[in-house]
Amino acid sequence: MKRTIWILNHYAGNMYFDKGGRHYSFAKYLKINGYNPIVFCCNRKHGNEENYIKENKRWIACIEPEINVPFIFVKGRPYHNNKERVFNMLDFYRNVKRAAKAYASKYGRPDMIYASSVHPLTLVAGLQLAKQYKVKCICEVRDLWPETIVSYSKHFKKSNLLIQLLYLGERWIYQKADALIFTMSGGKKYIKEKGWNVKGKKKIDINKVYHINNGIDLSDFDEKAKTYKFSDADLENGSIYKIVYTGSVRRVNNLGIILDCAKRITEKRIKFLIWGDGDEIDTLKERVKTENISNVDFKGRIEKQYIPSVIKQADLTLLHWEMSPILRFGVSYNKLFEYLAAGKPIFSTVCPNFSIINKYKCGRETTGFSPEEIASGIMEIFNDSKENQERMSSNARQAAMDFDFKNMTNKLIDIIESM
């Protein structure tokens, strides 16, 4: 057995039950390659009163049977707002270190720590555990805190004292990490833009910065597409052009602009099929009814295992979120890789830097975030030749192969072995 790798991810609990996700897949293929991965996650469901494991212990160890990897569920309180969520983060920060100490005394120490954000306290805990056990620590950045807060918030500016403190903490993490992995392509660009790579005691060595995007476990995706067939009258209707969206239907997703776009499309064969749920679903359904938007159908929530079957039956997959300054550093949107695996053309309502869609020529991105421009971009694909649409489909599947977690894990192993 090669090295024991402790993977810290506050929000990896759902991966144990979904049998998929970034760190589930990394753990799976690390195990196949002879490593001994252990995943530490919070036992509290995201924004929910429930625990994943119905016990109130400080930590519970469960072996995931399909990949034979231990998941350590760490105690955390429930939360329903941002203030409570911060306390949940603090719970995980404290309790994961206590759980790690108890686990190490019973099962052995780690050879390396791999700590993954979203929030930075997980990275701080990883660095402290690495120092305690005198091992190297990889810090993985999946969300730029506080840069993301500044980009999307109407209240927090860069001059805000709390934001300034978070920037100082972020720089400290990057400096102390033995290796930095960014899921977005522009990690080095971000550090250089901040001027954190300049000479001095707090300099961040740009040579320890790596990029491993999110990806897809293709063998798992293809197996689910075969096993969990999803039947739907619209999907099976060969006379309509099916534009499929799967994901959250929340105010933050701003799907109202898709309804505005649909109203501007007069081609009768085009239909938007939206799978998902959220706090805006009732409002949007009411709009469809009162405004007589006949080419949009909200299908409701769908179990995750059926998503491969649904999107493989699409003619065009829809990737939608709002343009933001943060996208100049690229994106690591999980949904994109499912769409690539489906092997269908993709239409995106934003144009991030380091665009995978443009690189692989597997779809289109709108040049402007307005209903008219989105509708125009969709019609360009609809009116494109059959040969070009098939080429985009083929390119999408090729991109998925490049982002298969088998290949992504090899990149991670290269980083581990270089340390």
For a pLDDT cut of 90, what percent of the chain falls above it?
A: 86
Question: Residue 321: what pLDDT?
Answer: 84
Question: Residue 327: what pLDDT?
Answer: 92
Residue with tokens 């993301």: 148
Residue with tokens 């209707």: 237
Question: Residue 214: what pLDDT?
Answer: 95
Under CATH, to which class is 4-215+404-418 assigned?
A: alpha beta
Question: Residue 324: what pLDDT?
Answer: 85
CB atoms within 10 A of CB 402: 14
Under CATH, to which class is 218-402 assigned?
A: alpha beta
Q: If 0-12 CB within 10 Å is exposed, 13-18 middle and 19+ buried, where does residue 303 land?
A: exposed
Which parts of the chain sit beneath pLDDT 50?
Answer: none
Q: Return the axis-axis angle of helices 371-383 and 256-263, rounded to nearest 10°.
A: 60
DSSP string covering 120-170? HHHHHHHHHHHHHHT-EEEEEESS-TTHHHHHH-SS--TTSHHHHHHHHHH
Contacts for 17-24 with beta carbons within 8 Å, 24 or more apart?
Answer: 17/52, 18/304, 19/64, 19/66, 19/220, 20/217, 20/220, 20/304, 22/116, 22/214, 22/215, 22/334, 22/405, 23/116, 24/64, 24/67
> Which residues sit opposite 297 in a β-bridge?
273
Question: Residue 246: what pLDDT?
Answer: 97
Domain with CATH 3.40.50.2000 in the chain: 4-215+404-418, 218-402
How far apart are the C-alpha atoms of 252 and 148, rounded to whole Å? Answer: 14
Question: Residue 1: what pLDDT?
Answer: 56
Question: Residue 132: what pLDDT?
Answer: 98
Stated pTM of the model: 0.94
Cβ proximity of 7 and 38 under 8 Å: yes
- pLDDT tens digit sequence for 97-125: 999 999 999 999 999 999 999 899 999 99
- Dihedral sign for Cα 103, 38, 211, 215, please: negative
Question: Residue 153: what pLDDT?
Answer: 76
Question: Residue 82: what pLDDT?
Answer: 85
Q: Which amino acid is at 378?
A: I
Q: Which amino acid is at 66?
A: E
Question: Residue 169: what pLDDT?
Answer: 95
